[in-house]
């Protein structure tokens, strides 16, 4: 980068890079190169290939011995080359840079790298702050695998099961959907049958129980198709989705606080309900889209054979 007719160069450090550098904790830094400015263009060209990536470029100022780089990261250029003539301003009030330091972004000494073998957090302390009939909340102080030390408030839950009950007796599969009022959403929602796994209960047993209690249906064929976290940012609840086919209708056995309406919806209609935002429940959205994908793949395979 040349500066006017003087054929000099200035290395400008972006504000974002500096913020990232200063906020990234203590680092093992080393000065890999130092270029005196004003410098000839060919000198800059010869030095540039020696700069490893990623790097941060920091200007040293004549009025600040050791430069910002030394103050921020604790390294000193072994032989900084400063020109003898006075620094000049370039219209912004900022003195001309006298020395360019290239700071190698070494691995942080306070954080583990991406290749760290540790995948679990170290729990410093944990305190249960709330216990209810369905879930409990703990306040944990942890050191996570990346080296972050933080307080985490976690909602604990025994886990839930979701039932994707499908009437496959016709040419178009139909999905069994429920509609019930959800106070947290302050609205009626379309959902798949689902419920909590009781202590000591197996997932499949819980799925069969929930389908019978909420809808009255039973199924001859069962298969677990998905398992995911409901909201892993602060909720430890897992959800296991079971595909239930070869349905048989019966009498529902809802709990006292449940008023549930049910409907068998053709799969194409259910997909439209997802796309249009009529279905707003995450577990139902993921399960319906899974079924649609599998149905399309099956039809495509039949056409190719």
Q: What share of the chain is helix, strand, coil (3-state, %, to 5)?
A: 25, 35, 40
Q: What per-residue confidence (pLDDT) applies to 271?
A: 98
Give the highest mean pLDDT range of 32-41, 56-65, 225-234: 225-234
Residue 303 has pLDDT above 90, yes or no: no
pLDDT tens digit sequence for 160-183 = 999 999 999 999 999 999 999 999
Residue 8 or residue 269, greater confidence: 269
Mean pLDDT of 238-254: 96
Q: Which residue, 268, 204, 283, 279, is CA-closest to 237?
A: 283
Strand-by-strand arrangement of the 31-36 sheet: 31-36, 99-104, 55-60
pLDDT tens digit sequence for 53-64 = 444 444 444 444
Q: Which residue, 164, 285, 177, is CA-closest to 225?
A: 164
What percent of the chain lies above the pLDDT cut of 90? 56
**Residue appearing with tokens 């389908």:** 211
Its pTM stands at 0.62
Distance CA 106, CA 16 (A): 18
How, if at all, do strands 99-104 and 55-60 pair? antiparallel
Residue 202 or residue 49, greater confidence: 202
Q: What per-residue confidence (pLDDT) applies to 122?
A: 94
pLDDT tens digit sequence for 153-162 = 999 999 999 9
Q: What per-residue confidence (pLDDT) applies to 16?
A: 43
The DSSP line for 93-126 is SPBPP-EEEEEE-PPBSSS--TT-S--S-EEEEE
Q: What per-residue confidence (pLDDT) applies to 89?
A: 45
Q: What per-residue confidence (pLDDT) applies to 252?
A: 94
pLDDT tens digit sequence for 257-280 = 889 999 999 999 999 999 999 999
Q: Mapping DSSP to helix (H, G, I), strand (E, B) and coil, where does residue 16 land?
A: helix
Cα Rg, the chain, nearest whole Å: 31
Distance CA 222, CA 265 (A): 20
CB 74 within 8 A of CB 66: no
Exposed, middle or buried by CB within 10 Å (0-12, 13-18, 19+), for 56?
buried
pLDDT tens digit sequence for 62-109 = 444 444 444 444 444 444 444 434 444 444 444 444 444 444 444 444
Distance CA 244, CA 260 (A): 19
- CATH 3.40.50.920 applies to domain 158-304: no
Q: What per-residue confidence (pLDDT) applies to 24?
A: 44
Q: Is 256 a catalytic residue?
A: yes
CB 239 within 8 A of CB 261: no
Q: Which residue, 261, 246, 91, 238, is CA-closest to 173?
A: 246
- 96, 203, 256, 258: the catalytic one is 256
Q: In the chain, where are the structural domains located?
A: 4-104, 122-156, 158-304
Residue 132 has pLDDT above 50, yes or no: yes
Q: Which residue, 272, 257, 256, is CA-closest to 177?
A: 272
Task: Cite the DSSP H helix spans in 185-250.
Answer: 203-215
Distance CA 86, CA 96 (A): 9
Mean pLDDT of 250-262: 91
Confidence of residue 116 (pLDDT cuts 50, 70, 90): low
């Amino acid at each position: 980068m040349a500066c006017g007719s003087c054929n000099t160069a200035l290395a400008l450090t972006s504000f974002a890079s500096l913020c990232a550098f200063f906020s990234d904790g203590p680092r093992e830094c080393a000065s890999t190169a130092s270029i005196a400015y004003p410098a000839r263009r060919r000198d800059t060209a010869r030095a540039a290939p020696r700069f490893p990536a990623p790097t941060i470029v920091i200007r040293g100022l004549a009025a600040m011995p050791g430069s910002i780089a030394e103050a921020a990261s604790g390294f000193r250029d072994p032989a900084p080359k400063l020109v003898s003539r006075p620094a000049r301003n370039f219209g912004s009030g900022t003195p001309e840079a006298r020395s360019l330091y290239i700071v190698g972004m070494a691995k942080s000494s306070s954080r583990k790298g991406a290749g760290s073998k540790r995948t679990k957090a170290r729990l410093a302390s944990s305190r249960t702050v709330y216990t209810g009939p369905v879930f409990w909340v703990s306040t944990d102080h942890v050191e996570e695998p990346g080296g972050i030390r933080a307080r985490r408030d976690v909602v604990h839950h025994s886990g839930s099961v979701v039932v994707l009950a499908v009437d496959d007796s016709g040419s178009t599969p139909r999905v069994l959907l429920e509609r019930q009022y959800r106070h947290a959403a302050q609205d009626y929602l379309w959902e798949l049958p689902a419920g909590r796994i009781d202590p000591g209960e197996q997932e499949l047993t819980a799925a069969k129980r929930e389908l019978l209690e909420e809808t009255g249906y039973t199924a001859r064929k069962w298969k677990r198709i998905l398992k995911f976290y409901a909201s892993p940012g602060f909720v430890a609840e897992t959800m296991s989705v079971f595909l239930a086919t070869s349905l048989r209708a019966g009498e529902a056995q809802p709990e006292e606080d449940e008023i549930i309406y049910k409907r068998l919806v053709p799969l194409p209609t259910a997909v439209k309900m997802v796309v249009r935002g009529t279905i707003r429940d995450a577990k139902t959205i993921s399960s319906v889209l899974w079924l649609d994908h599998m149905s399309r793949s099956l039809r495509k395979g039949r056409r190719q054979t």
